[in-house]
Amino acid sequence: MVAPLTVGIAGLGTVGAETVRLIEANASQLAVRCGRGVRVVAVTARSKAKKRGLDLRGVRWAKDPLALATDPEIECFVELMGGDGEPARAAIEAALGAGKSVVTANKALIAKHGLRLAKLAERHGGALNFEAAVGAAIPIVKTLREGLAGTAVDRVYGILNGTCNYILTRMEQEGLSFAECLKDAQRLGYAEANPSFDVDGHDTAQKLSILASLAFGTEVAQRAVYVEGISSITPQDLRAAEELGYRIKLLGVAVRTKTGIEQRVHPTMVPRASSVAQVMGVTNAVTIDGAGIAPITLVGPGAGGAATASAVVADIADVARGLRALPFGRPADRLKPTKKAPMERHEGGYYIRLMARDLAGTAATIATRLAERGISLESIVQRHPDRASDHGISTRPSSPVPVILITYATSEDAMRGALQAVQRDKVISGRPQVIRIEKN
C-alpha cells in the first residue's frame, strides 16, 4: 500500500481551517481518487489557543512557518497565511528549495514573486500549485495551463472581485450610490474597513497578471496592468447602460494585440446578452476566447472559506497523484518579458457622459471635436424637457444637460484628445465620464 501524502498547513484562518475539515471529511474519497491517502500531520498559525472547531489531536504544531516548511516529514507544504512578503515568501522558498511541493492561495505572492518561485520549483522537482489564488472554486488555472494547452488564447477576461460585483449589482438593482453600497458591503463583511484594494481594482489586477501569464506565456507582472476602480460609477451610468443594452462590470481583460499583450482593469460596458453580464452579486466569472473554439465561460464563487479550500484540496490531490505541471504551463525561463501597454493605443467603443452647457452651438461644437479626431457615433442620448433647437439642446440658459454618447471603435488617444478639446471649448461642465465597451 502506498503511504499517505503528508501535508503541513501554515495558516489556520477561515481557509486553513476549512482545508483541514475537507481533507478529514473526504479522506476515503481522496484515497480512491489519488491512489493514496492525504494526511495533515503538522500545522502552524499565529495563535495556538484560538478556538477553531478543529480536532487537531495527533497533529503536530510547528513553532513557525519556516520550521514547518523544512520539516523532513512534510511532503507537501500548504501556505495559507497570505501577504506578498514574510513569512510566506521565505517559507515557500524553503519548501521548494528542499524539493517539496507547495500549494498556496496567495495571489499577492504569486503576482509579485511567481517567476522566481516557478524557477525554484522547476529546479528542485516539486510542484507549485496555486489554483485558489484566482477565482477560488473556479478551475481557471488548470483550464488555461492544462485544459487549453493546445489552444492559442486570444483574450481572457472576467469578473475577478466579488466585492466590486456586489456593489455594482446593488447599485443597479436598487438605484443606490456607490458610497451607500460600499457601506453596506462593509457591514456584511464583503468589503474590508479599508476597501481601496478591492474597489480601486488592485485585487483584480493581481489576479489578471496571473491569468495573463498562463494564457500568453508572459512573465507575471502586476505593474504591467492598467488599473481603474469603480468609485466614479453613478446610478445614472447604470441606468443609461440598461437603456442602451449594456451592463457595467469591473473587468480584468488581457488580450493579444498587434503591439503585444494588453492588460487592463476598469469598469466596462458589456452587452446584457453576454454570459459575463448575467453574473451578479459576489460571484466571479472568467471568459476565454481562443483560436478555433467558441468562448468558454467559467462561473462560480470567487471567495469564501469553503470555495477557496475546495481549490486548495484539489491542488493537494494533484500532488498526491504525482502530477507535476509546470507552474505557468511553460518553462519559467521561456516566459516572455512584459511591460505596461500604453492605454493610448487601446482601441474599442466608448460610453461618454457629458454635462453639456445648455447654450446654442454646444452640440455642434461637441460633434466637430469628435469628427476632427475621426470618431463616429453609434448613438446619442439626451434628456431635456425643452428640445427646441440645436439638435435638441435648448437656447434657454439653464443647468447643464446630460448627454450620453456611444462611439464606434476608436483609439483611446483620439477619444481623450477630443474630450480635452471639448473641455477647452468650455461647452461642458465637470469632467466627462468615460467607460470602455467590451464586445463579445
Tens of pLDDT, residue by residue over 141-180, are: 999 999 999 999 999 999 999 999 999 999 999 999 999 9
Cα–Cα distance list, 71 to 65, 125, 152, 173 (Å): 10, 17, 41, 52
Q: How confident is the model at residue 394 (pLDDT cuts 50, 70, 90)?
A: very low
Instruction: Give the separation between CA 310 and CA 316, rounded to whole angstroms.
Output: 10
Q: What pLDDT, on a 0 to 100 scale, did the predictor assign at position 391?
A: 44
Q: What pLDDT, on a 0 to 100 scale, did the predictor assign at position 79?
A: 98
Q: Select from 248, 235, 250 the least CA-distant residue to 177.
A: 235
Q: What pLDDT, on a 0 to 100 scale, did the predictor assign at position 328?
A: 97
Q: What pLDDT, on a 0 to 100 scale, did the predictor assign at position 262?
A: 94
Active-site amino acid positions = 207
Mean predicted confidence (pLDDT) in 67-77: 97
Q: What pLDDT, on a 0 to 100 scale, did the predictor assign at position 360?
A: 79
Domain range enclosing 380: 346-437
Q: What pLDDT, on a 0 to 100 scale, did the predictor assign at position 121?
A: 98
Q: What pLDDT, on a 0 to 100 scale, did the predictor assign at position 384?
A: 58
What domain count does the chain have? Answer: 3
Mean predicted confidence (pLDDT) in 89-104: 98
Return the H-helix or E-strand segment holding 406: strand 401-407
What is the grid cell recorded at 121? 520549483
- Whether residues 151 and 284 share a domain: the answer is yes
Q: Select from 25, 44, 22, 50 the least CA-distant residue to 306.
A: 22
Q: Over 70: is that where the pLDDT of 390 sits?
A: no
Q: Over 70: is that where the pLDDT of 395 sits?
A: no
Over residues 242-290, the pLDDT tens digits come to: 999 999 999 999 999 888 899 999 999 999 999 999 999 999 999 999 9
- Whether residues 96 and 74 share a domain: the answer is yes
- Whether residues 313 and 297 share a domain: the answer is no
Cα–Cα distance list, 151 to 129, 145, 147, 197, 394 (Å): 21, 10, 9, 33, 55
- What's the CATH number where 394 sits? 3.30.70.260
Residue 225 lies inside a defined structural domain of this protein: yes
Q: Over 60: is that where the pLDDT of 86 sits?
A: yes
Say what percent of the chain tops pLDDT 70: 96
Q: What pLDDT, on a 0 to 100 scale, did the predictor assign at position 420?
A: 95
**Among 65-69, 92-96, 117-121, 341-345, whose mean pLDDT is lowest?**
341-345
CB-based contact 42:62 (threshold 8 Å): yes
- Whether residues 131 and 148 share a domain: the answer is no
R_g (Cα) of the chain, nearest Å: 25
Mean predicted confidence (pLDDT) in 104-127: 97
Terminal-residue alpha carbon distance, the chain: 51
Residue 102 lies inside a defined structural domain of this protein: yes
Q: What pLDDT, on a 0 to 100 scale, did the predictor assign at position 99?
A: 97
- What's the CATH number where 159 sits? 3.30.360.10
Residue 233 lies inside a defined structural domain of this protein: yes
The per-residue pLDDT of the chain, averaged, comes to 92
Residue 339 lies inside a defined structural domain of this protein: no
- What's the CATH number where 36 sits? 3.40.50.720
Q: What pLDDT, on a 0 to 100 scale, did the predictor assign at position 344?
A: 87
- Whether residues 160 and 13 share a domain: the answer is no
Q: What pLDDT, on a 0 to 100 scale, did the predictor assign at position 192?
A: 82
- Whether residues 20 and 156 share a domain: the answer is no
Mean predicted confidence (pLDDT) in 201-213: 97
Q: What pLDDT, on a 0 to 100 scale, did the predictor assign at position 392?
A: 44
In this structure, the dihedral spanned by the alpha carbons of residues 36, 63, 315 and 329, taken in order and rounded to 10 degrees, is -120
In this structure, the dihedral spanned by the alpha carbons of residues 21, 24, 30 and 34, taken in order and rounded to 10 degrees, is 100
Mean predicted confidence (pLDDT) in 117-136: 97
- Whether residues 174 and 278 share a domain: the answer is yes
- Whether residues 168 and 260 share a domain: the answer is yes
- Whether residues 284 and 389 share a domain: the answer is no
**Among 15-24, 111-120, 374-383, whose mean pLDDT is lowest?**
374-383
Residue 341 lies inside a defined structural domain of this protein: no
Q: In a 3-state reduction of DSSP, which class is residue 348?
A: strand
Residue 340 lies inside a defined structural domain of this protein: no
Q: Over 80: is that where the pLDDT of 398 sits?
A: no
Say what percent of the chain tops pLDDT 90: 82
Q: Select from 158, 142, 112 the least CA-distant residue to 274.
A: 158
- Whether residues 89 and 121 share a domain: the answer is yes
- Whether residues 276 and 156 share a domain: the answer is yes
**428-437/347-356 β-pairing:** antiparallel
- Whether residues 365 and 389 share a domain: the answer is yes
Confidence (pTM): 0.93
Instruction: Give the separation between CA 116 and CA 128, rounded to whole angstroms.
Output: 11
